[in-house]
Amino acid sequence: MAQVSWVYLDDFGGRHRIGLYHGDRTGHLLLHCDSLIVQVDFSVKETRTYSFFVEDELCEVSVVKEPQGFTYDFQVNKKLDTPRNRLRKSDERRTRKQMALLISGLVIVVVAVVLGLRWWGRQHKSDQLADTSLGSRLTPENERLLAVGGSSAVAQLFVVQEALKRQVFYGFITANKVQISGYFSVPDTGLIILPNGFPLRDRDAFSVRYLPSDPGIHQVNFEEPDPETIRGYLEQASGAQAAAHPEATPGHSRCVAELVLREKGWPFLVDLIFQSAPAERNAQHNRDTYLRLVREPEFHRIIQRECWDR
């Protein structure tokens, strides 16, 4: 994964750190500024340019496709018509004009800074996520609005590690093609266990519900994985079954996992995945819950009937 960063010093002495992550295989791209996500894009495999504001300055990060890989560039756009660029031109004219223009320019600066700080505060608040949930701005009233008038999309998760710290980022696209993203912190080592009990794999995806009028209000439902994620759970369960029972054939292990999915449902695949874990390490899913699952009389008969010759 490509990791690039720049340090930008604004006209007011502020120091801003801009950086990006760009997946080598997936092409997924995440752009951040001062720990705030400003852009998430998926499958970026051609040249693209992303624009965003730092305070009131229009900045651009270019991702340029080269014969071998990509190059990355950060620039401040001083030509496009923006409030800051108009102010810059006004500053240049003020050196040749009277003091009244200088006063007007200073007023514009103050207003722009105040508006920029207010915007940053609202955006920062909307991006705050609880450590145990992939939800944003979930007040009781917003939860009611989501239940009554929310729309559904699919949110994809991926793990990013910078230095020794890991975070899980997610993103989804609304029906109006608006890209929404967020992140939450996870332990720096070991498995990342989701609220549904399954270990997180990079690019797992789940249903997300959002308000069409304000997609920043949303909640990811870990109990609704997409079909590809469920297939991934099946592969993990089959592999864990084979590893725990080397005396069985691969076909038999696969058959048991498929029967659990068919007869019990995908949530029970987690008991196969953690069948070798002691109860003190995983109280919810462990060897005991696995044995209760496969030894349940009716289900045990189904396994014997359908998997005996695999």
Mean pLDDT, residues 57-71 taken together: 92
SS3 63: strand
The domains of the chain, with CATH numbers, are 2-126 (2.40.128.180), 135-225 (no CATH), 228-307 (no CATH)
pLDDT at position 278? 95
Sign of the alpha-carbon dihedral angle for 216, 221, 226, 231 = positive
* pTM value surpassing 0.85: no
For residue 114, pLDDT over 80 is answered with no
pLDDT tens digits for 182-191? 888 888 888 8
Residue 129, pLDDT above cutoff 50? no
User: Does the structure show a pLDDT above 70 at 220?
Assistant: yes
Q: Give the Cβ contact number of residue 256 at 10 Å.
A: 24
Average per-residue pLDDT for the chain: 88
Q: What is the pLDDT of residue 145?
A: 93
pLDDT at 222: 94
Distance CA 6, CA 9 (A): 10
Better-predicted residue by pLDDT, 102 or 38: 38
